[in-house]
Structure 1
Amino acid sequence: MKDTEVAAPTIRTSTGRRAINDGASVTVGNIEAGANWDYSLDGGATWTPGSALSIAGSALSEGTHRVTVRQTDASGNQASATAEVVKDTQVGLPTVATRNGTGFVNRGEYLTLGNIEEGASVAFSLNGGTTWIERSVIGTHTWAEGTNHLTVRQIDPAGNQATTTAELEVIASISSPSVRTSTGKRVINESGSVMVGNIQTGARWDYSLDDGRSWTPGSGSSIASSALSEGLNQVIVRKTDGAGNPSTMSIGVVKDTVALAPTLTLASDTGEGGDRLTNDGSLSVGGIEPLATWEYSIDGGGWLVGGPAGIADPGFTDGAHNVRARQTDAVGNSSQETELNFSIDKSAPDRPGLFLNADSGVVGDRIVRSASLRVLGTEIGGTTHVSVDGALQGTTPNDADTTLIDMDGQLSEGARSIGVQQVDAAGNASDWTFINVTIDRTAPDAAFTGLSGSGLAITSDEGGEVFLVRDTLSPADDLADIDTLDASSWRRFASAGPGNETSLADLSGLRAGTYDVYARDGAGNATQIASPLSGTGTGPLKAAIGSAGSDVISLPDGGGVMVGNGGADRFVFEAGQTGTFVFTDIDDEIIRGEADMDIIDLTAVLKNYTAPSSGDDAANDLFLTRVDEAGKSTIFVDVDGNGDFQNAELVLVLTGPAAQQFVQLATPGEVLMG
C-alpha cells in the first residue's frame, strides 16, 4: 500500500500551561506506530531525537523557546508541529503590605499583595502552612485580635512556588493615650514634664497647645516643661496607632515656676492698729498656695514647719522681735522670705492719778458745775478710758504724761463716781482709779433779807459765797474770772451756811459806785440778788458806795430812790428818761414838778418839805411819778404800800467807806432817809 501522508504531532506541556520548570516537560503526542520523532529548539537548525514522547524540562534553557517536533513514519513521510514553551525555573517572593505601611491592621482591613506573577495561584496560611486558603485577595475579617503569623504562597504557571511570612497585629479596639504630670498634680515647674503613656509599639503621637490648630510630633514619653507657657496650658495628646487609628486625650496643666512670698501679720495688733506694738505675739500667715508647705524662723533661729493655724505666741518677752517665713509650692518652687518686725509689750501700765482739774466754787469740796478731769501718769500713745457710775463713757488719747478730759455736758446732776483706766499703746490695761464728785448746775436760791448788824444780810439755800461786784464790770456768769478783775471793784464774803444770813460788812478799800450783789454756791453757780420790790420789771438789788464828802447816786434802767447823808444829794436818771417828774407827799400834795430833767437834786426837791421828826411815819410819804409826753404816768417808787412798783429797783446806799452806814428800804416800798 502506498503511504504518502503522516499526521502532525501534538505538543503540550506537562503543566498544561506554556511555562514549565525543571520538573516539568514538553509532552509529544500523535506519533504513529513505528514512526520516529525528534525536536529542534533552534528553528530546525539542529535536531534532537525524541524518546518517551516527552522533552525533559532540563533540555530547555531558561526563557522562551519555539519547540518544533517532527515525526517520520515508516514510509518516510514527515510532519511537524511547533509550540512556544517558556522555561521558567524561578518565581519571585510575594509581598504583603498593610494600608498604613506598618505591621498593624484593623480587623476587616484588606492586605495588598505584590510581586504575584501573572497566572500564578495565591494561597495564605495562618498556621505555618498546615492548611492553605486559596485566595487572591486576603482580608483580616476573621483574624484573631493581636499578633497573627501570616504566610503567603504563590505558584507560578511553571509550577515554581515562593512564600513570604509576616507578623501582623490586628487591632480590634482603639485606646486613648494616657496623659499625666511628672508631679502627679496638675501643676509643674521648670523641671517637671507632661508624661504620655499607652503608646503601643508602632504607634506614634503628637501634641497640641493651641486647641488642635497645630501639632508637634512627640518623642519619647514626655513633653518637656519648657514647651509650655507660664500659667494654664491645655495640652492635647493625639495617638495614631499602627493601624492608623487616631485617639486623643487632653489635660489642663499649670506651669508654675514662681512661688510668691507668704504674708506675715500680727493676728491681733492690740492697742492702736498698724503700729506693730502688741501684747499678743500670735501671727497670721497668708498667701500660702494650695498644697504648699511653709516654714518660719523666730529671731534668727532655725526653720520650723508651719501649720494651718499660723504661728502661736511662743512666749515672746517684752521688746523687739523678728519673724521670717517662706513657702515651697506644690511643684517645688521656693519663695522669697517674708519678714515682720514688731514689738511685744505685755506689761500693764501703772494705775493713773485722778484729780479735778478745776474745782469750781469752793475748792476741795468736789462739788462742781462740770467735771474737768486731770489724769496723771498717762503713757504717751495710749488711751484713757472714762467711766461714770460704772458705765464706760468714752476714751481719750494720751498725748502727754498728763491728760485733761473735759466732761462738760456729759454728767447729770447729783453724786457721781468717775473712774479712769489707762490702756497703753500695746493694749495693756491698768487698774481703775475712782473719784467721787457732785455735779450741781442749779444756781442757789438767794435773797436780800435786810440789815444784819452793820451790813447787808443775804441768805442762800446752798451756802457758798456772796460777792459785791461793781456794775461797770462784766464778770463771767459763774464769777470764775473774778480774781482777774480790779480788786477795788469787788469783794468776796464767806457764806454763813445754807439758810443762814451772810453779812456784807467789810467794805473798806472799795471804790465808790453802784455794785451788784451775787450769791455763789460751792459748785460755782451764781445768782444775782434781785430787788425785794415786786411788780413787773423789777430789777436787781443795787448797793451804792459813795465817797465820804459827796454822794453821787446813779439809777440804772430808770427806777428807784437813792438818798445820801450830807453833801449834794442828787437823784440821777439815765439819758432819755425825760418827762415831768412829780414828787408828792402822803397826802398827794405836789411838792415840786420838774420837766425834762435827767438829774434831780434831792436837796432842791426837799427844801420846802419838812419830814416828820420821829415815829413810824418818818419819811414814809414820798412818791416819785413820771409823766411822759403822751400823758402816761409811771410810778417809780410807791411808798404807800399799794404794791404798784413798776420799773423799780432797790438800791442800797453806802454813805461812805469810813462810816459804813447803809440807807435801805427796811421793808418793800419804805424809804429811810438819814
Structure 2
Amino acid sequence: MPDPTPPQVDPKPDPVPDPTPPQDFVPPTAPTIHLLHDTGVPGDLVTNDARVQVSDLEAGAVWESSRDGKTWTARTGDTIDASEFAGDGDKRVQVRQIDAAGNVSPEATLSFRLDTTITDPTATLRSEARENYPLANDVDFHSGTVVNRATWIQLGLEDRAHWTYSINGGQDYVPGDGARLDLDVLKGEGVQELRIRQQDEAGNWSRDTVLELTVDNTSPVVTATFSPEIPTPPDVPGKYQSYDFQADEEAQILFVPIGAVHGETPQSYLAGWHGKGLLVAAEQTSVWGIWREQPVNAMYTVLAVDKAGNVSFVPMSGGDGAAGTSPTAVALRADGMFAENRVVTAAPDPLDGRSIARSSGMADHFFGSDRADVFSWNDHPEAMWPQIDWIHGYSKAQGDVIDLARVPADGRSMGTLGDYLRKEVLADGTLSLWIDYDGKGETFPGNFDQQILVTSQSGTDLLLRLGQNGAPVVI
C-alpha cells in the first residue's frame, strides 16, 4: 500500500537583498530667494539693505550662488551677506540647490536695486511778486528771506521721494504733497525756522534743509501827492510834474495798465501782469514819470509791493481832494509826465436840476449819484495831449448818459460813427471809449483824442448823447 505521507520538499532560500540602492534622478525644486529686508516701499525691490535670504532647501541639500551665471560658490546657512553687493546700483544673483543624490535644481534669480545714499532737498522761495516783479530800479528786490503767506517753496526732490516738514524745530514732522509747500503753514509774524527732509524709495532719510525766514503779512502803506511844478535840470526846458511817494517801509511801486488784469484784490494783480517797479524808500521819493518802462497815453492802476510780497493800492491824490476819494490810478501823458487826477462827483445843475459831472483838462475820475447822471464833455477844451478820464459806477439802468457834444450827430456823421468813436471791452470787463473828435478814425491806443474808461454796474451797453442837441443812442 502506498505511503500516504507526501514527500518532503526543501523550502526555497530567502532572496538575497540587492546591495545597490535605487537611484534618484529627480532634481529638487528651485529654492526661493528674496531680500531679507526690502526697505522703503515693500515689494518694489529697491532697498538700502542688500542682504539676501534663501529658503525652501531640501533636507541634506547644499546650495550655491552665482553673480554671473557661470561661476558658482558653495554656501552655508541661508543668507548672502550685503558685502557681496558692494556699491549702489542694479544687482543680480542666482541660487540653486544640489540634493544628496547630486541632482541640481533649476536656478532661482533675484534682481534688485541697491540705494544707500540720498541728497538733501533743495528749497527755492517763490511768489507772484518774485516771479513777475523781481526788479525795482534794476535791483533784485525780493532776493532775501522775507516772506508772506502768499509765498511758497519749490522743492527739489529725488524721483519718487516723499517729504515732511517741521515748524517746531524738528519735534514734529508733517507729511508734504507734490513739490510745493505754501508758507501759510507758518503762523504769526517774525523770524521762524522751517525744516524740510525727504525719504527716497529705498527708505533713506536725508538731513534737514533748514530755512530761517522772516514772516511779514502786513501790506505797505504808501501815499502819493501830486507836485505840479518841479524844476528841471538846466538843459531841460519847462518843469516836471511829479508824484511824491511816501511809504512806511521800503516798497516797489507797480504800474499795471487799466483793463489788463482782473484784479479784485491788490494781491491778485501780481498774477496777471509782469514788469519792473520803481523803488520807493521809507521816506519821500519823487517820481516824475515812468516813460522809460511803460507806454504813454495810458491809465495805470498803481500798487505798492513790499519785500515780503504784500500788496496795497496807492491813492493818487490830485488837485481836487475835497470829494474825499483818491483814485488808485494815474494817467501818463504823451510827454511821459503824469496827468493830475481830479475827482468829480455829479451834482444837481442849478438850471435844469439834472445831476451833472463836467470834464476838465485833467485826468477826471467821475463818481455818480444815486439817480440819473450826465457825464459831460460838452465843454471839453482843446488839449495839448490826448485826454484820459474814468467814469466809476456807471448805470445805464439808472439812466446815466455820457454826453459827447463834440462828436457830430448829423446824418452824415452818424453813418460814419466808427470814424469818431470805438467801444472796447477790456480784459477785466472795464469799457473803453476811444474817441477821435476829427472823425479820422484815430480810435486806437496811442492814437486818439480822448479815452473814456467806464466801470459799468451791469452790462456793456452805454447811453451816449452826440452833438449839441442829439438824442441819446445806445452803443
TM range (shorter): 0.3 to 0.5
- TM normalised by structure 2 equals 0.48
- TM normalised by structure 1 equals 0.35
- Bigger RCO of structures 1 and 2 (CA < 8 A, at least 6 apart): 2
In our comparison, the structure showing a higher alpha carbon Rg is 1
